[in-house]
Amino acid sequence: MICYTNIKYIHYIHYCITNMILKGNYLGEFQELVLLSVASLPDKAYGVSIMHYITQETGRAVNISAVHEVLKRLQGKGYLKSSMGGATAERGGRRKRYFILTASGRKILEKTMKLKLQLYKQVPNFVFKLS
């Protein structure tokens, strides 16, 4: 039985990794963070708000240009899509670009989280300590 799960697990890892490598769907740590932020800020995810959200949640100082860069890449990979919002008063009338998660973005997010959790569960001492 153990044998079986092990094989299944290895197959799964293999599948994930090949999937990532072959399609270039590898998510960096910061990319993952931005993607999660967009997911948790429905309808109000744009450059500044995402930056603030990350700072607020993680306590990390993030530069706005880095956020823009990652957003562009994620959109290029098809995990995000964007549209311009209406005119605003607080920034000289300039419009905001709002980002929302696409289906494939949600999928990759789920996969990465699942993989992390799976790996995390394999650490015996952790599980033992926590329980």
Partner 1 sequence: MTPTPPKWADKLLAWYCNPDLLEEIQGDAHELYFERVATDGKRTADLKYIFDVLRFFRWSNIREGENSFKPSRWNLLSFNWKVAARSAGRHKVLYCIKTIGVSICLAFTLILTGFVIHELSYDKFNEHHSKIYRVTSRVDFHDHVTHYAVTPFPIGGAMLDGIPEVKRYSRFVSHGQPIYRVGDKILDKEVTLVADSSFLKMFSYALLHGDRTALDHPNNVVVTEMLATKLFGTTDVIGKQLSVGDDLLHVSGVLKDLPANSHLMFDALISWDVSRMQDDWGNLNAYTYVQLKPDADLAAVKGKMPKLLKTFHELVAREYKATYEPVFVQLGDIHFSGPLDEDIAIKGSLNNVFILGGIIALLLLMGIVNFLNLSMAEVTTSLKKIGIIRIFGGTAGSHRNLLLADGLIAVATIVPATAFLAYAGWILCDHYMSIVIEPGVIRNPIFLGLTAGSILMILFISQFNAVIYSGPATTMQSFKNMFRPKNSGRLLRNVLVGLQFTSSIAMIALILVTRDQFAFIQDSDKGFDTHNVVLVKVRDARPEKVITFIDELRRLRSISKVGGSTYAPGVLETKYVFQVESKQGMTELLVPMMACGIDYFDALNIRLSKGRNFDINNGDDHGAFIVNETAARQFGWTDAIGKKIAGPVQGGGEAMIEGEVIGVVQDFNFASLHSKIEPMIIFLAPRGWSTEFVYIKTNAMTSPDLIPSINSVYERLWENVPFEWQFLDTQYLRLYEGDQRVRHIFEVGLLINVLIAGLGIFSISALMANLRAKEMGIRKVVGANGAHLFFLHLKSFVLFLLACMLIACPLIYGLSFLWLSNFAYRIQLSASHFLIPGALAGMILVVVVGYHALRATRVNPVEMLKNE
Find the binder of partner 1 among 13, 17, 48, 119 (CB under 8 A). 48
What's the closest the beta carbon of residue 14 comes to partner 1, in angstroms? 33
Between 75 and 115, whose beta carbon lies closer to partner 1? 75
Nearer to partner 1, 43 or 130 (CB): 43
**Selected binder of partner 1 within 25, 30, 39, 68 (CB under 8 A):** 68
Q: Report d(CA 116, CA 110) in Å as an integer.
A: 10
Query: What is the distance between the alpha carbons of residues 87 and 110, in angstroms, rounded to a whole number?
Result: 34
64 binds partner 1 (CB under 8 A): yes
Q: Which residue of 32, 39, 69, 100 would you call a contact of partner 1, by CB under 8 A?
A: 69
Locate 108 and state its tokens: 């990759």
Residues within window 86-105 making contact with partner 1, judged by CB under 8 A: 88, 90-92, 94-97
Least separation, in Å, of the C-beta of 107 and partner 1? 24
d(CA 60, CA 63): 10
Give the interface with partner 1 as residue ranges (CB under 8 A): 46-48, 63-66, 68-69, 72, 84, 88, 90-92, 94-97
